[in-house]
Amino acid sequence: MITLFVAFLVSLLVALVLTWRVRERALAWGWLDQANSSRKVHVRPIPRLGGIGIVGGFFAPLCALFIVDSGVGAQFLAQTELIVGLFVGGAIIAGLGFYDDLKGAGAKLKFSVQFAVALGLYALGFRIEVLANPFGAELTLGLLSLPLTVLWVVGVINALNLIDGLDGLAGGVAFFGVGTHFLLALMRGDVLLCLLMVALAGAILGFLVFNFNPASIFMGDTGSMFLGFVLAAVSIKTSSKSGTAVALLVPVMALGLPIMDTLLAMVRRSLLGRPLFSADKEHIHHRLMSRLLLSHRTTVLVLYALCTLFMLTALGLHFANSMQSALLLSGIGVVIMVLMRKLGYLDMRHMDAVQQTRQRNQELRSLVRSVTAAVRAAGSFQEVWSAVRPLSLGLGLSALELRLRRPHDDVGGGVVFESQQPDAGVATALEVRLDVKEAEALFGALRLVWRDGRSAIDRDEELALEVVADAVAERVAQLVALEAAAPERIIALRR
């Protein structure tokens, strides 16, 4: 127990110091999460990359075991596969998250790395081989063990990432999952898993000191994906060492909130014709705030209470027989159904509107694909404008304007492209402006005007326009770099 206590203190202190230092450096170097979208809950720029503190806090006491002689350390060093899986896999996932926080990583890169890491874990012996069946004999997976293990690892990584939407939420959810696995390992006498969990618990608490509402730093993808990875790997170990009557059900319950939120997001986006991995403001925490009129902090505390319920259910499943397990699952199922009804997920009265939204989003996605493809193929600023112009008709705009400039042009320099449509009516104009920005370099702005009576931009249109603005910024940056390298290949445009 002394070793566990020391490991907890070390991880807590390292996480505190690292998170504080990262926050100060992020403020100095401009590594901030901007409040520039309606789906953002915060209203001011907040430093990101706080996940570095979580990663450092978790690994610090584990690294100390390599140089400190102890009984727990001897057990840890004897588990070569566990060491390789956690250190190598964790470093890769944390590196992916760090790159995504700084530069932005596309879905293809994220999933390629995540699937590769999951396959590596499977090769090292992290395998789900049995599924529980409270109503009968357990199911042996056989050849299905590989795909289920990979999907579990990738799914949990992204579930923690998706639920990271409020101050202290992802860290708190992960902490309850850690607590569940710690208690299960302690009851089994599994000192090694206890060690891993106290190290992660200390790292999370050290970070939450700065992240609980009002947060002064965010964990970013560095932290959320790393937490998901460690919990996914440990969950597999917990599953393999649990009684077969509850194998995998315990870790599923321990991570019940992020798993439920992810499944709801996938169903919701499929029904509405949105990309599965697009951001929206319809997660459980968003609906608690909008439908039940809860404050930011109260919402997080309510979700902590829900995590506590999932945690108690997971612990109950560990000790329950088949009939008791079925009753526990039925009870938690009722709670979930009541919650979803309260939050409007089961409201069938708006199915016609859902179908219309789906059709509109499919048209919108087709428009964005064609526009961004044309933007990426553009060979000049004029061609970039020609690629963007279809937005005017596709979105029913009264006016569309694209201002482009080189980063070092004088104020007012650059070129302006504009198109106007005859106004149908005299409704008050709604104007939206998106910066065309790559990293810290500002290349201009995209301005859109509607006069159709709307008072706010549709969220799906906002997300689509952000994709277009990002594509324009990326291509303009390439054209500017090309002009600097070979100016004779670029036709100069005057205002």
Domain ranges of the chain: 2-342, 379-489
**Bridge partner residues of 194 (DSSP):** none
- Say how far apart CA 124 and CA 76 lie, in whole Å: 15
Verify cis geometry, omega within 30 degrees of 0, for the bond prior to 275.
Answer: no
- Say how far apart CA 139 and CA 246 lie, in whole Å: 11
Q: What is the pLDDT along the chain (495 residues), one digit of tens a residue?
A: 788 899 999 999 999 999 999 999 888 877 776 555 444 454 467 888 899 999 999 999 999 888 877 777 777 778 888 889 999 999 999 999 999 988 888 888 999 999 999 999 999 999 888 876 666 667 788 889 999 999 999 999 999 998 988 889 999 999 999 999 999 889 888 888 899 999 999 999 999 999 998 888 999 999 999 999 999 998 887 766 554 445 567 788 888 999 999 999 888 888 888 777 777 788 899 899 988 889 989 999 999 999 999 999 988 888 887 788 888 989 999 999 999 988 888 777 777 778 888 888 889 989 999 999 999 999 888 999 999 999 998 998 899 999 988 766 655 567 889 888 776 555 678 899 998 887 667 888 999 999 888 888 887 888 889 889 999 999 998 988 887 776 555 444 444
- Say how far apart CA 434 and CA 187 lie, in whole Å: 55
How many secondary structure helices (H) and strands (E) does the chain include?
Answer: 18, 8
Q: What pLDDT was estimated at residue 244? A: 42
Q: What pLDDT was estimated at residue 21? A: 94
- Against a cut of 0.85, is the pTM above it? no
Number of Cβ within 10 Å of residue 69's Cβ equals: 7
- Say how far apart CA 484 and CA 339 lie, in whole Å: 57
Q: What pLDDT was estimated at residue 307? A: 94
Give the model confidence (pLDDT) of 65-116 as tens digits: 888 777 777 777 788 888 899 999 999 999 999 999 888 888 889 999 999 9
Half-sphere exposure at residue 39, Cβ-oriented, CA atoms within 13 angstroms = 16
Tokens found for residue 297: 């902090």
Q: 101 with 48: CB under 8 angstroms?
A: yes
Tokens found for residue 2: 């002394």
* Contacts with 355 (C-beta within 8 Å, 6 or more apart), sequence order: none
> One-letter amino acid identity for 14?
V
Backbone angles phi, psi at 358, to 5 degrees: -60, -45
- The C-alpha torsion from 197 through 199 and 204 to 205, rounded to 10°, is 110
- Say how far apart CA 175 and CA 65 lie, in whole Å: 23
Judged on CB neighbours under 10 Å (0-12, 13-18, 19+), 283 is buried
- Say how far apart CA 391 and CA 286 lie, in whole Å: 29
Q: What pLDDT was estimated at residue 323? A: 82
Q: How far is CA 205 from CA 58, 124, 162, 170, 239, in A?
A: 11, 30, 20, 12, 25
Q: What pLDDT was estimated at residue 245? A: 45
Angle, helices 296-319 vs 256-272, to 10°: value is: 120
Provide the b/e sequence for 162-199 (b: ≥16 CB within 10 Å). Answer: bbbbbbbbbbbbbbbbbbbbbbbbbeeebbebbbbbbb
Q: 325 with 134: CB under 8 angstroms?
A: yes
Q: What pLDDT was estimated at residue 110? A: 93
Look up residue 487 and give its DSSP letter.
G
Look up residue 420 and give its DSSP letter.
E
Q: What pLDDT was estimated at residue 157? A: 95
| Coil, strand or helix at 132 | coil
**Could you tell me the CATH superfamily of domain 379-489?**
GAF domain (3.30.450.40)
